[in-house]
Amino acid sequence: MMESKEIILGSAYLAPVSYFAALYSCRKAYIERYDHYMKQTYRNRCVIASADGPLALTIPVEKSSEGKCAMKDIRVSEHGNWRHVHRNAFVAAYKQSPFFDYYADEFNAFFDRKYEFLYDFNMELTQWLCEQIDIQPELVPTSEYMDAGEGILDLREAIHPKKSAVDMTSFCRPVPYYQVFDSRHGFQPDLSIVDLLFNMGPESLLVLRDSTGL
């Protein structure tokens, strides 16, 4: 592990465990604002463990009039009452987890407030999650599209829903931990960080420590 490492990450909604394993390992993380927004990424989607297996929760965004739009300019849509849908999904999935009630009030507050921009919502959630887990990377929004210089590890494309845990072994090793439905579905690696937090609470830090490959 190299705690002085600087990394670049994409913006992500309740990012997977691998994302936070990278944050655990670094001193400074640049969170890209100027990459082109793409669908079917963690920018607006997280995956949790439901009673029926993995469940993807997606934040609807407003369509841009331009062909390509920078992540920083993506606006959250109010379509489909998604905040209510997501909150109900978290309750259904984690109400029986050991630590859900402990974090629920502060966590739910994020869904009571309407954020205009997806990047801002993601960033505030990420900062709160880092505080709860007790990791202290410096999170730095980029001021332009960032080229990875010497000594900076670029993970913007490495953490993606279509990539398996095997693809990420260079910086993250999945470590099994207790999950509510593991007796039904077995351990499901690299779900949203809230799966780890609600199930393991303060011990999430130890899981991230053992998961990091940096």
Mean pLDDT of the chain: 92
Share of the chain above pLDDT 90, in %: 80
- Greater confidence (107 vs 147) lies with 107
Listed in sequence order, the residues at least 6 apart from 121 whose beta carbon sits closer than 8 Å to its beta carbon are 13, 59, 76, 110, 115
pLDDT in tens, 150-193: 889 999 988 988 876 556 666 788 899 999 999 999 999 999 99
Segment 77-90, tens digit of pLDDT: 998 999 999 999 99
Structure tokens at 119: 């990047």
Q: Residue 50: pLDDT above 60? A: yes
- Average pLDDT (18-27) is 94
Of 142, 147, 152, 161, the residue nearest 71 (C-alpha)? 142
Q: Are 197 and 129 in contact (CB under 8 A)?
A: yes
Number of H helices, E strands in the chain: 7, 6
What local confidence, expressed as pLDDT, does residue 169 receive? 63
Q: What is the value of pTM for the model shown?
A: 0.93
Average pLDDT over residues 21-26: 93
Answer whether 19's CB lies under 8 Å from 210's CB.
no
Confidence of residue 1 (pLDDT cuts 50, 70, 90): very low
